[in-house]
Structure 1
């Protein structure tokens, strides 16, 4: 039963990484050419760098748009979000003990970073 749950979880996590690839042409192209786990992790890392830069720009813009206590609240929320992302993705990246965990963990960081960047962008609008 536990093994079935772990396998199902690993498949679900892998599909989440595929969803990101479908949304990002550069990531998709990189993943299409990836032959090893290390190649796939490298593809995720490159795409995460792009999304992390986007997140940092969005955070600075959102922070500048806040006033008073909301500015401190956003700083606190962002710090907590980073801790949550890191813990969540470490958990996702240790589901089976196999090499696919590395891909799942790095894909989780990519997905969550991309989503958070969009959330921060939405705080201030277009």
Structure 2
């Protein structure tokens, strides 16, 4: 059972890391040079900061483009999304009880932040 859990965790790491790194040369380069769990988490955290700045810029642009009830709806949805992201990634980041959870959790935050930034950018267009 423990081997199955560890194998599943390793697979999850491989899938999550590949998805984010495949579209991001800076993250891929960082991950390629990472030799420890802490290094991998550091790569995810560094790129999450970039994606979070992107998300905040897109959120402000979306708010500026909306009025009245739609603006309030976006604010409400964004607050709920943050709670969901944190809960979801907390869950993913505690699957095995091992150090790989740190990588999976930080990768989850990165992936979800990047996806949400894209969603918000799509609200207002180019």
Interval of TM-score (by shorter of Structure 1 and Structure 2): over 0.9
From the superposition, tell whether residues 67 and 56 of structure 1 become closer, same or farther in structure 2 (CA, over 3 Å).
same
SS in 2 for 1:4: helix
Match of 2:114 in 1: 114
Match of 1:33 in 2: 33
> What is the TM-score normalised by the length of structure 1?
0.93
Give the C-alpha shift of residue 4 in structure 1.
3.3
Match of 2:70 in 1: 70
Match of 1:94 in 2: 94
> What is the TM-score normalised by the length of structure 2?
0.93
Moved more, 10-19 or 55-64: 10-19
Moved more, 87-96 or 17-26: 17-26
Output the CA distance in 2 between the equivalents of 1:110 and 1:101: 14
Q: Where does the alignment leave 5 or more consecutive residues of structure 1 unmatched?
A: none
Q: Where does the alignment leave 5 or more consecutive residues of structure 2 unmatched?
A: none
Count of aligned pairs: 126
Output the CA distance in 2 between the equivalents of 1:44 and 1:77: 25
Q: C-alpha deviations, 1:22-63, integer Å up to 9, x for none?
A: 110000000010010000000000000000000000000001
Moved more, 101-110 or 7-16: 7-16
Assess if the C-alpha contact under 8 Å between 2:12 and 2:104 holds in 1. Answer: no
Match of 1:42 in 2: 42
